[in-house]
Copies of this chain bind each other. A is one copy, B any other.
Amino acid sequence: MSADLSPHELRALIRKGQWTHPTSGASKGYIQANLVMMPQEQAFNFLLFCVRNPKPCPLLDVLEPGRFEPTIAPGADLRTDLPRYRIYENGTLKTEVADVRDMAHSGMVSFLLGCSFSFENALLAAGLPIRNIEEGKNVSMYVTSRDCRPAGPFTSKLVVTMRPMTPQQAIRAVQITTRFHLTHGAPVHIGDYREIGIKDFSRPEFGDPVTIRPGEIPVFWACGVTSQLAATSVPLPRVITHSPGHMFVSDLKDEDLTIL
């Protein structure tokens, strides 16, 4: 079972090219992270963007230029240990690859950002529904009308994920996810999607639409895709990110990231 692989075992499979699909559900209980690599010339400004927007862009690890072994996974290599990468040049998606050893040079800074997989485990453990998992779909993601706080040249609208729940379940979900402040924390909105500028609720910008049952309301959390929009909001020579769903799996456990 892929859920039972240790992060070290999973990363070894990925590095050897024997795991090429999304990491959802793999190495259950371990923190998965969004990856952004960018030129060191803009790294201060991007770090500033993350600090100013901690809910969509919670920093798990940032490495000095040219370093690719994260402190949250000793022995790992960010150039080989994700199943799939996206390469952006001058702000435009150019290609997807399985390995970036030739592209991630000594002048690049790597950022690892929290992802909502961590709190999903806690929600499930509390008996709360995660509709996209029930329906075998990717979580619904929407680009809202809310501006993130800019930093240097970086800007982005806030991107959110949505999970439908009853009001009672939503209250419990606020309590549970509050503890996970490094993996997006409490929801940013509950209820009327128009209030955050979502026009067509049936068509999320990323991921899949899911069923909303009678008596349920949408619950919205800040989403790490925000960091990718921000990183590519400036025409930098090269930015490398994970491909959606193909995350970096660290040695940290979900519980290591609760408030301290």
Contact = CB atoms under 8 A, between A and B. Distances in A.
A155 B97 CA distance: 37
A51 interface: yes
A219 interface: no
Interface string A174-189: 0000100100011000
A25 to B, nearest CB: 28
**A contacts with B: majority SS:** mixed
Given A43-B44, A44-B43, A47-B48, A64 B260 contact: no
B47 A64 contact: no
A120 to B, nearest CB: 19
B185 A260 contact: yes
A64 B51 contact: no
Nearest to A179: B259
Interface residues of A, number: 23
19 contacts: A40-B44, A43-B44, A44-B47, A44-B109, A45-B64, A47-B47, A48-B62, A51-B51, A51-B59, A51-B62, A52-B62, A71-B149, A178-B259, A181-B181, A181-B259, A185-B259, A185-B260, A186-B259, A259-B259
